[in-house]
C-alpha cells in the first residue's frame, strides 16, 4: 500500500514538472498594433420577406372544393386562389332573391290598385256628401226641412270624409311598406351575394403564390392561413434589434446582410423603418431594411444575419480584442502593463485612441 502511494506521488510530480516545463517553453504571441479602418456595428437577426407578403385567411369556414392555382404561380389582383363549399350560401342567396321578388312593388301592383280604387270611391262619396250637405244648408236657410235632417247630412259628410282620409292613409302606408320591403329584400340579396363571394378566396395583390396550406377536401377555418402570397420580385429584410442597441440605430444606416444560402457573401442594404414598439416577449424592436441590389435567387422566410453600421473610422490604430486586459490595459513585450484609451470596437478588434503606437510590441495575455 505504501509502495502504491509512493508511485502515485512520483507520477504526479513528474507529470506536473513536464506540464510546467512545457508551459514555460511556450512563447506568448507578440504583435504590433496596425493602422486600418474599423467599423462600429449593431447585430440583428432577420428574415427575408417578400414585399406585400401576407397570409391568406378565409372569412368563413368550409370544405376546400377547388384550388385554382399552384405554388410558385404568378397571380393578378382579384384572381381566385381557391373555392370553399357554399351550398348553404347558395340556398340563402336563392331564398333572398325569392323574397325580393315577392316583396317588390311590381309584384304588389294589384294591392296598390285596389287601395287607389278604394281611395277614389271614398273621395267620390265624400264629394257627394259635401254637395248634399251644402244643399241642405241652403234649404235650412230658407226654413225648408228640419234641423234633424241637417244634422244627419252633416254626420253623413263627416263619415264620408273620415273614410276618405282612412283610405288615403291606407294607400300611403301600403306604398311605404312596399318600398321598405323592396329595399330590405334588395339589401338581403346583396348581402347574400357578398357571402357567396366570401367562399371564393382571391388574391389581394399582383404577385406570386408562395405556399398553399390546404388540399382539396380539407377543412378551412378562419383561424388559420390557407396560403401565402407576396410580390414576385421585390424583397426586404425584417430585422429584430435588441433593446440594448435600439437607441444607436436610425433609418438610412447601411446594413450588411449574410445568409446561410449565400455562404461567405455579404449583401448591402439600407435600414428603412423602425417600428416604435418593443416586443415584450423577445425584448426586441422590429425594423425593415431593403437590399441595394437584391440577390438573384432569393425566397421568403430565409434566415439572415445583419450588421447595422453605426460608424466607420477609415484610418485608426487597432489591436485584437483578445490582447486587451480588463478593457483598458495591454501587456508590452517587456512585461509592462500599460493603460490605453479605447474607442470603437467590433467582435474581433478594438480601436486604440492613445497609450500605444504601431511601433510598440504587445503580447497576448
For residue 176, what pLDDT is reported?
Answer: 83
* Model confidence at 13: pLDDT above 70: no
If pLDDT is split at 50, 70 and 90, which confidence band does 91 have? low
Cβ atoms of 336 and 1 within 8 Å: the answer is no
For residue 99, what pLDDT is reported?
Answer: 66
Cβ atoms of 286 and 49 within 8 Å: the answer is no
Helix axes 147-198, 109-141, angle to 10 degrees: 160
* Model confidence at 27: pLDDT above 70: no
Q: What angle do CA 64, 67, 71 make, to 5 degrees?
A: 125
Domain range annotation of the chain = 43-53+233-312, 54-84+200-232, 86-198
If pLDDT is split at 50, 70 and 90, which confidence band does 4 have? very low
Give the Cα separation of 60 and 269 in Å (integer). 40
Give the Cα separation of 211 and 173 in Å (integer). 57
If pLDDT is split at 50, 70 and 90, which confidence band does 20 have? very low
Q: What pairs with residue 91 in β-bridges?
A: none
Q: Between 106 and 113, where is the model more confident?
A: 113
CATH fold group of domain 43-53+233-312: Elongation Factor Tu (Ef-tu); domain 3 (2.40.30)
Cβ atoms of 65 and 85 within 8 Å: the answer is yes
Q: What is the pLDDT of residues 32-48, one digit of tens each?
A: 899 888 888 899 999 99
| Lowest-confidence region among 143-147, 178-182, 244-248 | 178-182
Q: What is the pLDDT of residues 38-90, one digit of tens each?
A: 888 899 999 999 999 999 998 888 889 899 999 999 999 999 999 888 666 56
* Model confidence at 14: pLDDT above 60: no
Q: State in words which class domain 54-84+200-232 has.
A: mainly beta
For residue 6, what pLDDT is reported?
Answer: 37
* Model confidence at 109: pLDDT above 60: yes
- Whole-model pTM? 0.56
CA 76 and chain centroid, separation? 20
Give the Cα separation of 320 and 364 in Å (integer). 9
In the chain, what percentage of residues exceed pLDDT 70?
84
Cβ atoms of 238 and 286 within 8 Å: the answer is yes
**Residue recorded with cell 363549399:** 85
Q: What is the pLDDT of residues 164-211, one digit of tens each?
A: 899 889 888 888 887 777 777 777 766 666 666 778 889 999 999 999
In this structure, the number of other CB atoms found within 10 A of the CB of residue 23 comes to 8
For residue 104, what pLDDT is reported?
Answer: 65
If pLDDT is split at 50, 70 and 90, which confidence band does 26 have? very low
For residue 63, what pLDDT is reported?
Answer: 87
pLDDT average, residue stretch 216-227:
90
For residue 196, what pLDDT is reported?
Answer: 62
Q: What average pLDDT is seen over the chain?
A: 83
Amino acid at each position: 500500500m505504501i509502495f502504491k502511494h509512493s508511485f502515485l506521488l512520483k507520477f504526479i510530480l513528474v507529470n506536473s514538472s513536464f506540464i510546467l516545463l512545457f508551459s514555460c517553453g511556450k512563447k506568448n504571441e507578440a504583435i504590433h498594433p496596425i493602422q486600418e479602418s474599423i467599423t462600429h456595428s449593431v447585430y440583428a437577426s432577420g428574415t427575408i420577406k417578400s414585399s406585400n407578403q401576407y397570409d391568406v385567411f378565409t372569412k368563413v369556414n368550409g370544405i376546400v372544393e377547388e384550388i385554382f392555382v399552384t405554388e410558385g404561380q404568378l397571380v393578378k389582383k382579384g384572381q381566385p386562389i381557391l373555392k370553399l363549399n357554399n351550398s348553404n350560401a347558395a340556398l340563402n342567396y336563392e331564398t333572398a332573391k325569392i323574397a325580393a321578388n315577392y316583396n317588390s312593388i311590381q309584384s304588389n301592383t294589384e294591392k296598390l290598385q285596389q287601395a287607389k280604387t278604394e281611395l277614389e270611391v271614398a273621395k267620390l262619396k265624400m264629394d257627394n256628401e259635401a254637395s248634399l250637405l251644402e244643399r241642405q244648408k241652403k234649404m235650412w236657410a230658407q226654413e225648408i226641412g228640419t234641423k234633424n235632417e241637417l244634422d244627419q247630412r252633416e254626420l253623413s259628410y263627416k263619415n264620408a270624409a273620415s273614410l276618405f282620409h282612412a283610405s288615403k292613409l291606407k294607400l300611403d302606408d301600403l306604398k311605404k311598406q312596399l318600398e321598405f320591403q323592396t329595399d330590405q329584400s334588395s339589401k338581403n340579396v346583396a348581402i347574400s351575394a357578398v357571402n357567396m363571394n366570401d367562399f371564393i378566396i382571391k388574391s389581394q395583390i399582383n404577385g406570386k403564390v408562395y405556399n398553399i396550406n390546404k388540399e382539396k377536401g380539407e377543412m378551412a377555418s378562419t383561424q388559420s392561413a390557407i396560403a401565402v402570397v407576396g410580390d414576385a420580385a421585390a424583397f426586404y429584410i425584417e430585422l429584430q434589434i435588441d433593446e440594448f442597441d435600439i437607441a444607436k440605430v436610425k433609418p438610412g444606416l447601411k446594413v450588411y446582410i449574410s445568409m446561410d444560402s449565400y455562404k461567405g457573401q455579404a449583401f448591402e442594404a439600407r435600414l428603412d423603418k423602425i417600428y416604435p414598439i418593443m416586443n415584450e416577449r423577445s425584448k426586441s424592436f422590429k425594423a425593415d431594411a431593403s437590399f441595394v441590389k437584391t440577390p438573384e435567387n432569393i425566397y421568403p422566410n430565409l434566415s439572415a444575419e445583419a450588421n447595422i453600421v453605426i460608424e466607420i473610422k477609415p484610418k485608426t490604430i487597432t489591436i485584437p480584442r483578445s490582447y486587451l486586459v480588463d478593457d483598458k490595459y495591454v501587456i508590452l513585450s517587456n512585461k509592462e502593463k500599460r493603460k490605453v484609451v479605447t474607442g470603437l470596437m467590433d467582435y474581433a478588434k478594438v480601436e486604440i485612441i492613445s497609450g500605444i503606437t504601431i511601433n510598440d510590441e504587445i503580447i497576448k495575455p
